Amino acid sequence: MIDAEMPEPRIDPLPVEAAAQAAGECGVPTFMAKLSIFQVLLRHPRLAKAVNDLLMVMLAGKGLDARLRELAIMRVGWLTGSAYEWTQHWKIAQDFGVSSGDLLALRDWKSAGVFSDADRAVLQATDEIVTDGAITGATWKLCQERLPDEIALIELVTAIGAWRMVASILTSLNVPLEPGVEPWPPDGTVPGS
């Protein structure tokens, strides 16, 4: 499991001003330069633009319910030990109607009695993609029954894969949290504890 302590970055983030300039030059919204992940990725502007575009398409998706997407992202963060992903999406998930109680419960979602059938199908799909690289036939059938259409199914698989990729970038490059941000809100419990 990934260390709970935030290790030293393997690639130094750009200063915010330099990141904002690079963002503006490559077509990434300049507000993204405030995020440590983009302060690192903007050292490779073309790649930063591609990652930003993928994530923005997923965040603006019209098929997969935003609450379900955020449950999947938070579960990816938990399973991969990505303090950055978990911490960044803590507030975003709440903005899309996921309660802090549900966020904490998803750490051991199979035992929690708070999730709907659709939530449980999405969380099972997330576990399978992160652990095994693909959704099993049985879980796919559950997702088909509980999600509205093919667009939602495509967005589900793509969102899990995209944020799994992001978690790998974050943990492999030791991308730091932004100054003053505490990891693993709200109780400090970390994966493997």
135-176 tens-digit pLDDT: 999 999 999 999 999 999 999 999 999 999 999 999 999 999
Say which range, 14-23, 84-93, 164-173, 179-188, has the weakest mean pLDDT: 179-188
The reported pLDDT for the residue numbered 36 is 97
Query: Tens of pLDDT along 65-90?
Result: 999 999 999 999 999 999 999 999 99
Both tokens of 123, joined, read 């969380």
Residue listed under structure tokens 């939530």? 119
Enumerate residues 6+ apart whose C-beta is below 8 A from 153: 63, 143, 144, 147
Domains of the chain, by residue range, sit at 16-59, 66-172
Q: How confident is the model at residue 5 (pLDDT cuts 50, 70, 90)?
A: low
Across residues 168-191, what is the average pLDDT?
89
d(CA 50, CA 181): 26
Long-range contacts, 188-193 (Cβ 8 Å, 24+): 189/107, 190/4, 190/81, 190/83, 191/1, 191/2, 191/78, 191/79, 191/81, 191/107, 192/1, 192/81, 193/4
Angle between helices 66-80 and 150-172 (to 10 degrees): 30
Query: Tens of pLDDT along 93-131?
Result: 999 999 999 999 999 999 999 999 999 999 999 999 999
66-172 is a CATH 1.20.1290.10 domain: yes
Across residues 7-15, what is the average pLDDT?
95
Q: How confident is the model at residue 2 (pLDDT cuts 50, 70, 90)?
A: very low
Mean pLDDT of the chain: 94
d(CA 68, CA 17): 35
**pTM, to two decimals:** 0.94
Q: How confident is the model at residue 3 (pLDDT cuts 50, 70, 90)?
A: very low
